Amino acid sequence: MTMNLSRTLLLPAALALALAACQPKASAPAADADTSAAVATVNGQPITRDFYEYYVKSLSGKSSAELTPDIRGKLLDNMVHGEVIAQEAARQGLDKTGDTPYILELSRLQLLGQALGEHYLKDKKPTDAEVHADYEAYVAAAPKLEYHARHILVATEPFAEKLVQRLEHGEKFEDLAKAESMDPSKSNGGDLSWIRPEQVPPEFMKAVAALKPGEYSKTPVQTPFGWHIVQLVETRPLAPQSFDDRKQRIEQELERKKFKDYVDELMRSAKITRTLDQGTAGSAAAAPVAPAAPATPPKN
């Protein structure tokens, strides 16, 4: 996330501090182990040099030494303001009331999950052999064609069937799409231009792939969007992404799988008792619950 520093300085302190927490690229110090000198104190609570430098780096991408004294001072003011507000909120017990404690706990789970992912994967980067093997599997499974298609989208199957009958009686596909489709493509006669299998619902793709150029589906196709009549205009060969274009995504997917396997093992060895539905009137014994999805390690 790239931020304009001059704009950041205009933000309320609490919001600026929240934005700092969103930055993934600066390395945060361990708060409990932070023994660096204080750059300010608020009611006896220190704001340490390491915490200040992390905040500065998160917002500006630079160290404080690279900034002007005026900007350094304004950023410290932001932190002081944020600390004053946070202390007063805690004094009033707001960290323990309403939804706030749950939001704080969810933030803790998310941040620790991210930290564990980064730590676990630090020395488990995918090897060249793993990346090349995954790329070869991708090429073998990649679709070989892309499709130029049109469609007419309506709300009900009976109406879609009536439109098929009108096509059978000679009305033009584009004209019917302009008159009857509820999809934005109606202005182009239902033209979707070139589509690839991963871009459309599988039911839609299956119907398109079964047609020859110029044909339309005689049976309406249902997707989560409604009922479609699809027409194939033409096809052309679809080359897979090059290795260089695909490499980063492959590395991320391999890392994600490694971390998932690690978390699955943690889940298997953990002692977990679920009591969600126990004691509920009229309920049977608690049903098995699938493990929660593990935290996803951050993308590089």
Bigger pLDDT: 77 vs 22? 77
The domains located in the chain, with CATH, are 5-97 (no CATH), 100-142+247-273 (no CATH), 143-237 (3.10.50.40)
Cβ atoms 181, 269 nearer than 8 A? no
pLDDT of residue 277: 86
Host H or E run for residue 193: strand 191-195
Q: Write the DSSP assignment of 285-297 as a string of letters.
A: SPPP-PPPPPPPP
CB atoms within 10 A of CB 78: 23
Host H or E run for residue 38: strand 38-42
Q: Is the pLDDT of residue 294 over 80?
A: no
pLDDT of residue 280: 60
Q: Which of 230, 145, 161 is nearest to 190 (CA)?
A: 230
Crossing angle of helices 243-269 and 128-141, in 10° steps, is 110
Lowest mean pLDDT among 15-29, 86-100, 134-148: 15-29
**What tens digit of pLDDT does each residue of 195-237 get?**
998 899 999 999 999 999 999 999 999 999 999 999 999 999 9
Tokens of 284: 């049977």
pLDDT of residue 34: 83
**Chain mean pLDDT for the chain:** 87
**What tens digit of pLDDT does each residue of 238-273 get?**
999 999 999 999 999 999 999 999 999 999 999 999
Averaged pLDDT, 90-117: 96
The C-alpha atoms of residue 142 and residue 130 are separated, in whole angstroms, by 18
The C-alpha atoms of residue 188 and residue 290 are separated, in whole angstroms, by 46
The C-alpha atoms of residue 243 and residue 128 are separated, in whole angstroms, by 12
Cβ atoms 59, 75 nearer than 8 A? yes
